[in-house]
């Protein structure tokens, strides 16, 4: 689905499909170089990171293992509940493994902070982060990001995996909805 298909719901586009593709290509080249000859495990945080995981993994030039963990804290609104819910855990042990977490967005930073600490406590050899988008101005906790994505302003975005109330994940770029679409009227809406 493209912006043009849902124009009446969209306020503005923030990151275009070509911009996403360019970033993914650049990060994939760097990751392929950094982990050449190593056994890399990519861990995507579902559901939001599904598109980013697919795009990044296909652009790599090294073989990797793909694993998924489903975490949730936003539910139906535009504000984090502050509580991370594990909807699905990893299927494998991470002990002694080099891990790259693949995320769609860093907002408060709480999801990533929790996951980095969790994987380290499970005995990972290394834990690094790639996040497609970063709302730097909204961070509440500190997270080190080895492969940074696009810094975006304090607006609630949808597309390329990101949802508002489970919708718009299948948009192929990143956009902000019209204010009336955000029914919880949170501070970002
Ligand atoms: O930095 P934070 O404030 O923690 O926000 C970032 C997280 O929030 C979203 O997940 P969400 O809880 O909406 O689950 P979803 O991926 O299934 O939509 C997003 O996909 C990130 O995982
Ligand atoms: O801006 C956002 N959009 C969708 N999901 C999110 N989770 C944290 N921030 C966002
Ligand atoms: Mg969500």
- Alpha carbon dihedral 42, 48, 50, 54, in 10-degree steps, equals -80
Amino acid 76: pLDDT: 80
For residue 39, report the distance from its CA to the centre of ligand 2, in Å: 31
pLDDT in tens, 1-27: 999 999 999 999 999 999 999 999 999
Most distant CA atoms of the chain, gap in Å: 50
For residue 160, report the distance from its CA to the centre of ligand 3, in Å: 12
Sign (positive or negative) of CA dihedral 117, 48, 152, 150: positive
ipTM over 0.85: yes
Look up residue 13 and give its two tokens.
């586009």
Look up residue 156 and give its two tokens.
């609630």
Q: Are 170 and 158 in contact (CB under 8 A)?
A: no
pLDDT in tens, 149-163: 999 999 999 999 999
Residue 188 has pLDDT above 70, yes or no: no
Is residue 52 packed enough to be buried (19+ CB in 10 Å), middle (13-18) or exposed (0-12)?
buried
For residue 115, report the distance from its CA to the centre of ligand 2, in Å: 17
Amino acid 74: pLDDT: 87
3-state secondary structure of 29: helix
Phi, psi of 150 (to 5 degrees): -80, 130
The catalytic residues are 107
pLDDT in tens, 69-102: 999 998 788 888 889 999 999 999 999 999 999 9
Amino acid 81: pLDDT: 84
Look up residue 1 and give its two tokens.
């689905």
Amino acid 160: pLDDT: 98
* Atom 4 of ligand 1, nearest CA residue: 111
Question: Near ion ligand 3, which residues have CB within 5 Å?
Answer: 74, 163
Residues 110-136, mean pLDDT to the nearest whole number: 98
Place of tokens 């902000």: 176
Give the right CATH number for 16-156 from 3.40.50.2020, 3.30.1280.10, 3.40.50.720, 1.10.150.240.
3.40.50.2020
Residue 61 has pLDDT above 90, yes or no: yes
Residue 168 has pLDDT above 50, yes or no: yes
Look up residue 123 and give its two tokens.
């005995």
Is residue 103 packed enough to be buried (19+ CB in 10 Å), middle (13-18) or exposed (0-12)?
buried
Residue 68 has pLDDT above 70, yes or no: yes
Q: How far is CA 54 from CA 66, 67, 83, 136, 184, in A?
A: 10, 11, 27, 24, 31
pTM: 0.95
Pick the ligand that lies closest to the CA of residue 136.
1
Amino acid 97: pLDDT: 98
Residues in a beta bridge with 158:
175
Contacts of 118 (CB under 8 A, 6+ apart): none
At residue 189 the predicted structure's pLDDT band, cuts being 50, 70 and 90, is very low
CB-defined site of ligand 1, < 6 Å: 45, 47-48, 72-74, 80, 103-111, 163
Pick the ligand that lies closest to the CA of residue 107.
1
Residues 113-118, mean pLDDT to the nearest whole number: 97
Amino acid 22: pLDDT: 98
Amino acid 105: pLDDT: 98
Phi, psi of 27 (to 5 degrees): -65, -40
Q: Which atom of ligand 1 is nearest to the CA of 163?
A: 18
Residue 42 has pLDDT above 60, yes or no: yes
Q: Are 42 and 56 in contact (CB under 8 A)?
A: yes
């Amino acid at each position: 689905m493209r912006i043009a298909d849902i124009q009446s719901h969209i306020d503005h586009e923030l990151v275009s499909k070509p911009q996403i593709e360019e970033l993914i290509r650049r990060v994939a080249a760097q990751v392929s170089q950094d982990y050449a000859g190593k056994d890399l495990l990519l861990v995507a945080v579902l559901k939001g990171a599904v598109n980013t995981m697919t795009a990044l993994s296909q652009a790599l030039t090294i073989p990797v293992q793909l694993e998924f963990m489903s975490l949730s804290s936003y539910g139906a609104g535009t504000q984090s509940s502050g509580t991370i819910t594990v909807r699905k855990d990893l299927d494998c042990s991470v002990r002694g493994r080099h891990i790259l977490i693949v995320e769609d967005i860093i907002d408060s930073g709480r999801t990533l902070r929790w996951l980095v600490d969790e994987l380290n406590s499970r005995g990972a050899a290394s834990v690094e982060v790639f996040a497609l988008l970063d709302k730097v101005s909204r961070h509440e906790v500190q997270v080190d990001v080895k492969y940074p994505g696009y810094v975006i302003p304090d607006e609630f975005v949808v597309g390329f995996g990101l949802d508002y109330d489970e919708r718009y994940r299948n948009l192929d770029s990143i956009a902000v909805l019209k204010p009336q679409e955000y029914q919880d009227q949170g501070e970002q809406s």
